[in-house]
Structure formats: C-alpha cells, structure tokens
A = this chain, B = another copy of it.
Amino acid sequence: MKNIGFDFKVTHICKQTGARTGLLTTPHGTIETPCFMPVGTQATVKAMLPRDLHEIGSQIILANTYHLYERPGHELIRDAGGLHKFMNYDKPILTDSGGFQVFSLAASNKIKEDGVEFRSLLDGRKHFFTPEKVMEIEEALGADIIMAFDECAPYPADERYTKAAMERTHRWAKRCQDSHKRSDQALFGIVQGGMYKNLRIESAKVLTDMDFFGYGIGGLSVGEPKELMYEMLEVLMPHMPENKPHYLMGVGSPDCLINGVMRGVDMFDCVLQTRIARNGLALTMNGKKMLRNATFEHDFSPIDENCDCYACREGFTRGYIRHLIKAKEILAAQLITMHNLRFSLKLMEDIRLAINEDRLYDLFRQLTAQGALS
C-alpha cells in the first residue's frame, strides 16, 4: 500500500563508524534520525505536559497498543478523534503492536496460529489478538507509525522454538500488511530470531522482501547481556534494507543508544528515562545519580550543570529535588523526568551532529571517558 505523507532518506553516513543520519517524514512532521522516542504508555508520557515534551525537543513519542486497548479502549480513542487529539500531542506518534505486552504482561496467554488468546491484567477477561485485530486497533488509535503484530520469543529460548516464533511472526506480518488500510499510517515489520544469527539474517531477508516502510528489531534487550545484543546487531544490520528506517524496540539507556546508532539503528524507545525518574535516579554526563541519597542533602548545584532542561536551567538544585523525593512530592517526578528525557534527546542531538561531522566514535570515546554511559 502506498503511504501518503511519508518519506525516509538517509542524509549522511559517518565515515568513522558507518552510522547514519536521516529524515523521516510523517503526516505529523519530520523526524531527524537517529531519534529517541519518549514512551507514553497510557496516552501520556508520565508526569509531562505535552508542551513540556515540545520544549525538550521530543520529535515523536510511542504509545502502547496493549494498554490503550485495555484502557480506555481503542474505540473510545477513535471516537475522541484519534490518539493525537485524545492526548493533545500534535507531533508524530508510533504505536507498538501489543505483541511484546501480550507475552510479558497479560495474566495468561495461549499462542495459536491465528493469534494470541490472553487474559486481561485489569479485569481478567479473555481477549484474542490476531494480526487483523491488531491492525484494527492501531488504525483506531491512529498513530503515524504502527508496528506489525509479532511473537517475541523469550530469552533464553531454544532454536526450534525461536524459529517457529519467527516464522509465525513473518506470516503475521503478511496478514498485517494485507489487512492494514489507512494510507496515512506507515506499517513497520518486526525482525525476530532471538539470539540466533542465522535466524536474524533470515528474518531480515524475508521481511525485506515484503517491503515494509520501516523495520522494527524486536526480541532484543529481553534479558540477554548487552554484549550479546550488540553482537546480534552487528550480524543483523548489514542485512537490513539501507533505505528504510531501523527501529531497535524497547532499547534506550545512554550506552545502548550510542552503541545502537554505531551499528546502524535509527530509532529507539525506552521507559528507563521516565521510570527511573520516578525513583529519584537522574542521568548525567558523569553517570547516574540517585538524588534520594543523603549525599545530595546540602548540594545546591543543578542535576547536571551542562544540561539545558527547565530543571537544570532554572536552578532547581539537587538538594531541593532530594527534599521533594523525601517528601513524596509529585514535582520530583516532574523535574527528573523532564531532565532525563532532555538528557537523552540532547544525547541524540549530539550523536546526529557527530555523525554529520564524521566523528561519532570520538564522541563515543569522550562520553565513555566522562562516565556518561555508565
């Protein structure tokens, strides 16, 4: 199907690393890649007003199909005019397919060739997700980029199981492609294959032949060591279509961001930034800082003096934020979330600049030396 209002082009390839910058155009705007997508699971990036997201330079956010299907329901969001209008976010949105959540979050699940039967965590009721049903839900939600329904094999899983899951993912990808109707949405296929190099390469080839607008890389960062994930990427990425966006799903710690980009990834999403913020943990250029700790009680410096987020720029201090955490004040989550997201978006800005100036590996070494990736 032709996608109206979409485009992707690679704008530069870093001579030092082979990493690429690009422009991904959607009906709600053009995204500079590589990009990091803040996660708005339940149609809100936790503790952030949409205008705060704009301010920190968020280009695109992710919302979770599984959660929104369960609550408030995709029909309600369709009736509200779609996700953009419902949550008041006018920039691009990507929805995942719920595949990962059906396997990892649902109270129980049963995989069949036709789809997955699962019980809701909210009310215990039985639901059945098929590729066609997921397309219907994602069309109702109305995101710009939608993901095909896939089966994400657990880690560890034996090769036979992983291969069967991958092949079903390919069949489901085809069914998604066949049933998806909205031309103002771009459908991404999802490469699976677990930790098996041959399967990863096979999955990339099969899906490339199906000619999706873009490609998710699923089933990584599911419990395996980071080095193994990087190894899988090194094997897989040369087989991914060069002229399509590559999205490493559910990955986004600072070290994974730059390591992913160096291996050819264009898009990332991760709940880490927002989740650790609510626990008082802040990302900084010198590593993570647990602002809850007593060591910050009398520390009247900003979270990160080099950061330009509202919290750092306006002089909210570590001592003040520690007080807010101890006093269980919502403002702690607001300020640290804003900071952690801005930190990650700024990192991506730095990465894009370094790619365009053919010095991404220099940046990697500099960030490593500073402790920013630890």
In angstroms, Cα B85 to Cα A314, docked, is 10
Stretch at the interface among A5-13, A151-159, A319-327: A319-327
The answer to whether A334 and B87 touch across the interface, beta carbons within 8 angstroms, is: no
The answer to whether A88 and B314 touch across the interface, beta carbons within 8 angstroms, is: yes
The answer to whether A79 and B298 touch across the interface, beta carbons within 8 angstroms, is: yes
Smallest beta-carbon distance A167→chain B, Å: 36
Partner of A44, one of B49, B80, B329: B329
Smallest beta-carbon distance A93→chain B, Å: 15
Q: Which residues of B contact A298 (CB under 8 A)?
A: 76, 79
The answer to whether B326 and A72 touch across the interface, beta carbons within 8 angstroms, is: yes
The answer to whether A329 and B87 touch across the interface, beta carbons within 8 angstroms, is: no
The answer to whether B43 and A320 touch across the interface, beta carbons within 8 angstroms, is: yes
Contact of A330 with B by CB under 8 A: yes
Smallest beta-carbon distance A47→chain B, Å: 4
Contact of A196 with B by CB under 8 A: no
Smallest beta-carbon distance A267→chain B, Å: 24
Which residues 181-221 of A sit at the B interface, judged by CB distance below 8 A? Answer: none
Q: Which residues of B contact A86 (CB under 8 A)?
A: 317, 319-320
Interface string of A306-350 (1 = CB under 8 A from B): 000010001111011011101101110111000000000000000
Contact of A71 with B by CB under 8 A: yes
In angstroms, Cα B50 to Cα A297, docked, is 21
Asked, given contacts A72-B297, A323-B71, whether A334 binds B80 with beta carbons under 8 Å apart, the answer is: no
A70 to B, closest residue via Cβ: B327
Smallest beta-carbon distance A31→chain B, Å: 23
Q: Which residues of B contact A71 (CB under 8 A)?
A: 323, 326-327
Residue of A51, A87, A333 most packed against chain B (CB within 10 A): A87
Partner of A76, one of B50, B310, B319, B329: B319
The answer to whether B80 and A47 touch across the interface, beta carbons within 8 angstroms, is: no
The answer to whether B88 and A315 touch across the interface, beta carbons within 8 angstroms, is: yes
Contact of A46 with B by CB under 8 A: yes
A48 to B, closest residue via Cβ: B331
Partner of A333, one of B87, B317, B327, B330: B330
The answer to whether B297 and A331 touch across the interface, beta carbons within 8 angstroms, is: no
In angstroms, Cα B88 to Cα A335, docked, is 12
In angstroms, Cα B122 to Cα A327, docked, is 10
The answer to whether B323 and A47 touch across the interface, beta carbons within 8 angstroms, is: no
A326 to B, closest residue via Cβ: B71
The answer to whether B47 and A334 touch across the interface, beta carbons within 8 angstroms, is: yes
Smallest beta-carbon distance A305→chain B, Å: 16
Contact of A161 with B by CB under 8 A: no
Asked, given contacts A88-B314, A323-B71, whether A331 binds B76 with beta carbons under 8 Å apart, the answer is: no
9 more A-B residue pairs beyond the given contacts A48-B331, A330-B334, with a C-beta to C-beta distance below 8 A: A49-B310, A49-B334, A72-B323, A76-B323, A81-B300, A86-B317, A88-B314, A88-B315, A88-B316
User: A-B pairs with the 8 shortest C-beta distances?
Assistant: A72-B323, A44-B331, A42-B327, A47-B330, A44-B329, A80-B300, A86-B320, A88-B316
A-B contact pairs, 9 of them (CB 8 A): A43-B320, A46-B330, A49-B331, A71-B323, A76-B319, A76-B323, A86-B317, A330-B334, A334-B334
Contact surface of A with B, Cβ cutoff 8 Å = 42-44, 46-51, 71-72, 76, 79-81, 85-88, 297-298, 300, 310, 314-317, 319-320, 322-324, 326-327, 329-331, 333-335
